[in-house]
C-alpha cells in the first residue's frame, strides 16, 4: 500500500482492508460485481492506487434493489418494532465509535483529509447522527384530524409510513458522514436502502457495511454497491423498484437525477452545490472573525458544499480582514493527511486538482490577484495552496461558480442593501455567514439572505438536530433534524364514520 509517509502506525484492520479487493454488500453477502470487474481507488497524497473495489453496474443495482425490496415488502424489516430499530441503530453508533480510529485512517488515506480532522469531525459526527436518529425511531407519529362533515361523525387520523426502498448516492468530500446522514433517517423510519458511495472514496462506506451486519441489522436492509456515477449511479436513479432517491453532489448531476426519476416519479431529495457568501461588518469582533472566515473556506480544503467562498467585507475593514485571512492561510501546513503536523491535505483527485487550478487560471485571466497561495503545491499528489483572491467582481467565473477548493474571493462593500443583493445574486442558496456585534442587524440580514443555513458569528457548525439543505439550485429538502423524517415517510390518511 502506498502512502507518502507512515507517520502514524496504521491499524491492523486498515492494512487488511486495503490489501485485497473489496467486495460489495448485497442481501447480507459480500460479493463480486456480476461483471467481475474492479476499479481502483487512489491515495490523493501520492496519486498511487490504494485498493481495488468491485465495480457495480446495472446488474448489481438490480440485485441490490431486489434484496432491498424483499427486505422491505415481506422481510424482517417490515415486522421489526420501532424500539428494536432504534436499538440496532444505537448499536451501530457504538460500533462506529469502537472502530473510530480505523474509520479516521481509512478516510484520511482515501479522501486525503488530515487524520486529526477525521478523528474529531467525521467520526464523532457519524456516531452522533446514528444516535440522534435512533431516538426518532419510536417517535414517528401521525395526528388525529377533526372532520367537518354534516350529520355524521368521523374518526380520522394520519399514519407516517416509510417511503419504501431508497437509493442513496453520496459524494467524496465527507464519505462516511454523508453516508451516515442518509442511512440514519432511512433506518429510523423503516426504509430499506441501496447506497452508492462515490467512486473516489468507497472504503469507509464498505467498512460501515461490515458494522451494519455486526450490529444485527437484517440482511437486505442496507445494500452497498460501489461503482461509477454514469453506470451504477444512473441505474439506481432510474430504477423502477426504487421509491425514493436521495442525492448529494453537483447541481449538474442533481438535474440528471431528477430526469432519471421521472420514469416512476420516485421521490427525490437533493443536497447540491453552493457559493456561500460570508459577510463581515465593520462592527464585528475582527480578531474572532479573521480565523472564522479562514476556517469557513479552508476547512476540508474548501471541499464543502457550504464553504464560505465569497467573502464580503465592509470597506473600512477590508484590508485588515484580507491581510489577516491571508496571513493565516500562509501558515496552514499542507501535506499528507496521515502526517500529524498536517493542517490541510490534498484535494481528492486529479480531476479536482485540474478543476481548481483551471478556476485559478480563469480568475487571473479576468484580472483577479492572489494575496497568498494561488497555485498547485508540489508536484506529487493533488495539493493546492490555500488562496485568497482580490480584485474580483460578480461577473467573474471565480465569484459565480463553485470552485470546491481552498480558494476564497474577497470583495469590499459599502451599502447594506447592495450587500444583500450581491450576497443573494447566485443560483445557489445553501449557506451564509454574518459577522457583526449588532444583534438587530445580524437577525435582519439573516432573514434577508436566501440560504438554508445562516451562521451568525460562527461558521460550519453542524449538528444532527439542526436541519441542513438548500434554497434555489442548492437542493430539494433537508437533511438532519426532524425535518429529514418527512423526506423518508409518506403520510396516509385513514377515515371512518363512527356515528
* Angstrom distance (rounded) from CA 222 to CA 208: 10
229 binds ligand NAI (CB under 6 A): yes
Is 191 a known active-site residue?
no
Q: Is 271 a catalytic residue?
A: yes
Of all helices (H) and strands (E), which one includes residue 388?
strand 387-390
- Among 107, 271, 385, 402, which one carries the catalytic annotation? 271
Q: How far is the CB of 354 from ligand NAI (least distance, A)?
A: 10
Helices (H), 39-165: 58-73, 82-98, 100-111, 115-117, 123-136
Query: Counting contacts by CB under 6 A, is residue 237 touching ligand NAI?
Result: yes
CA-closest candidate to residue 209, choices 8, 10, 64: 64
Site string for ligand NAI, 186-205 (x = CB under 6 A): ----------x-xx------
Q: Is 249 in the site for ligand NAI (CB under 6 A)?
A: yes
Residues 266-285, interacting with ligand NAI (CB under 6 A): 271-273
Please state the φ and ψ torsions of residue 121, each to the nearest 5 degrees.
Answer: -115, -70
Q: Residue holding cell 434555489?
A: 472
Q: Going edge to edge, which strands form the sheet with 267-271?
A: 29-31, 24-26, 222-224, 192-196, 165-169, 244-248, 267-271, 475-476
Q: Kindly write down the DSSP assignment for every residue of 148-185, as one continuous string.
A: --TT--EEEEEEEEE--EEEEE--SSSHHHHHHHHHHH
Quick one: which of 52, 250, 282, 327 contacts ligand NAI (CB under 6 A)? 250
Among the candidate windows 132-140, 141-149, 223-231, 439-447, which touches ligand NAI by CB under 6 A?
Answer: 223-231
Kindly tell me which of 356 and 420 has the beta carbon lying closer to ligand NAI: 356
Q: Does 183 bind ligand NAI (CB under 6 A)?
A: no
Tell me if 272 sits within 8 A of 250, measured CB to CB. Answer: yes
Binder to ligand NAI among 164, 233, 302, 381 (CB under 6 A)?
A: 233
- Other residues' Cβ atoms within 10 Å of the Cβ of residue 147: 12
Q: Return the residues of window 286-305 that contact ligand NAI according to CB under 6 A.
A: 305
Per-residue cell: 454:
445562516
CB of 165 to ligand NAI, least distance (A): 16
Distance, C-alpha 34 to centroid of its chain: 29
480 near ligand NAI, rule: CB under 6 A = no
Question: Of the ranges 110-118, 154-162, 182-190, 246-254, which one interacts with ligand NAI (CB under 6 A)?
Answer: 246-254
From the list 305, 314, 339, 402, the catalytic residue is 305
Within 53-82, which residues bind ligand NAI (CB under 6 A)? none
308 binds ligand NAI per the rule CB under 6 A? no
Q: Which residue is nearest to ligand NAI (CB)?
A: 229
Query: In terms of residues, how long is the chain?
Result: 499
Which residues here bind ligand NAI, judged by CB under 6 A?
A: 169-171, 173, 196, 198-199, 228-230, 233-234, 237, 248-250, 253, 256-257, 271-273, 305, 352, 355, 402, 404
Q: Among all residues, which ones are annotated catalytic?
A: 271, 305
Amino acid at each position: 500500500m502506498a502512502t507518502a509517509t507512515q507517520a502514524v502506525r496504521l491499524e491492523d484492520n486498515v492494512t487488511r482492508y486495503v490489501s485485497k479487493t473489496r467486495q460489495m454488500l448485497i442481501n447480507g453477502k459480500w460479493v463480486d460485481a456480476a461483471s467481475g470487474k474492479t476499479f481502483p481507488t487512489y491515495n490523493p497524497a501520492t496519486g498511487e492506487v490504494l485498493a481495488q473495489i468491485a465495480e457495480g453496474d446495472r446488474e448489481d443495482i438490480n440485485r441490490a434493489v431486489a434484496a432491498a425490496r424483499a427486505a422491505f415488502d415481506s422481510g424482517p424489516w417490515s415486522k421489526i418494532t420501532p424500539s428494536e430499530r432504534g436499538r440496532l441503530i444505537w448499536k451501530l453508533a457504538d460500533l462506529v465509535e469502537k472502530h473510530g480510529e480505523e474509520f479516521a485512517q481509512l478516510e484520511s488515506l482515501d479522501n486525503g483529509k488530515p487524520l486529526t480532522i477525521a478523528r474529531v469531525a467525521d467520526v464523532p459526527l457519524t456516531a452522533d447522527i446514528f444516535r440522534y436518529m435512533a431516538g426518532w425511531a419510536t417517535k414517528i407519529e401521525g395526528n388525529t384530524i377533526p372532520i367537518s362533515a354534516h350529520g355524521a361523525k368521523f374518526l380520522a387520523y394520519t399514519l407516517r409510513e416509510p417511503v419504501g426502498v431508497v437509493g442513496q448516492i453520496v459524494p467524496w468530500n465527507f464519505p462516511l458522514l454523508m453516508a451516515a446522514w442518509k442511512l440514519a433517517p432511512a433506518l429510523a423510519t423503516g426504509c430499506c436502502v441501496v447506497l452508492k458511495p462515490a467512486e473516489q472514496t468507497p472504503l469507509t462506506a464498505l467498512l460501515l457495511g461490515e458494522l451494519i451486519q455486526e450490529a444485527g441489522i437484517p440482511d437486505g436492509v442496507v445494500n452497498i454497491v460501489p461503482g461509477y456515477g454514469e453506470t451504477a449511479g444512473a441505474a439506481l436513479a432510474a430504477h423502477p423498484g426504487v421509491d425514493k432517491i436521495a442525492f448529494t453532489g453537483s447541481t449538474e448531476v442533481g438535474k440528471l437525477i431528477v430526469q432519471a426519476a421521472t420514469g416512476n416519479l420516485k421521490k427525490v431529495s437533493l443536497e447540491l452545490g453552493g457559493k456561500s457568501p460570508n459577510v463581515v461588518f465593520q462592527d464585528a469582533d475582527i480578531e474572532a472573525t479573521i480565523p472564522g472566515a479562514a476556517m469557513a473556506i479552508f476547512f476540508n480544503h474548501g471541499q464543502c458544499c457550504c464553504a464560505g467562498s465569497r467573502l464580503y467585507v465592509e470597506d473600512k475593514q477590508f484590508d485588515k480582514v484580507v491581510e489577516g485571512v491571508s496571513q493565516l492561510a500562509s501558515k496552514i501546513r499542507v501535506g499528507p493527511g496521515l502526517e500529524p503536523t498536517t493542517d490541510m491535505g490534498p484535494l481528492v483527485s486529479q480531476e479536482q486538482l485540474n478543476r481548481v487550478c483551471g478556476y485559478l487560471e480563469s480568475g487571473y485571466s479576468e484580472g483577479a490577484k492572489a494575496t497568498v497561495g494561488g497555485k498547485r503545491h508540489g508536484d506529487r499528489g493533488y495539493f493546492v495552496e490555500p488562496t485568497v483572491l482580490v480584485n474580483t467582481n460578480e461577473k467573474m467565473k471565480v465569484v459565480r461558480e463553485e470552485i470546491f477548493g481552498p480558494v476564497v474571493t474577497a470583495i469590499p462593500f459599502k451599502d447594506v442593501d447592495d450587500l444583500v443583493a450581491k450576497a443573494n445574486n447566485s443560483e445557489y442558496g445553501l449557506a451564509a455567514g454574518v459577522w457583526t456585534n449588532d444583534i438587530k442587524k445580524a437577525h435582519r440580514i439573516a432573514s434577508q439572505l436566501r440560504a438554508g443555513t445562516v451562521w451568525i458569528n460562527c461558521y460550519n457548525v453542524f449538528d444532527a438536530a439542526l436541519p441542513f439543505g438548500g434554497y434555489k439550485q442548492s437542493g430539494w429538502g433537508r437533511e438532519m433534524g426532524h425535518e429529514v423524517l418527512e423526506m423518508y415517510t409518506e403520510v396516509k390518511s385513514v377515515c371512518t364514520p363512527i356515528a
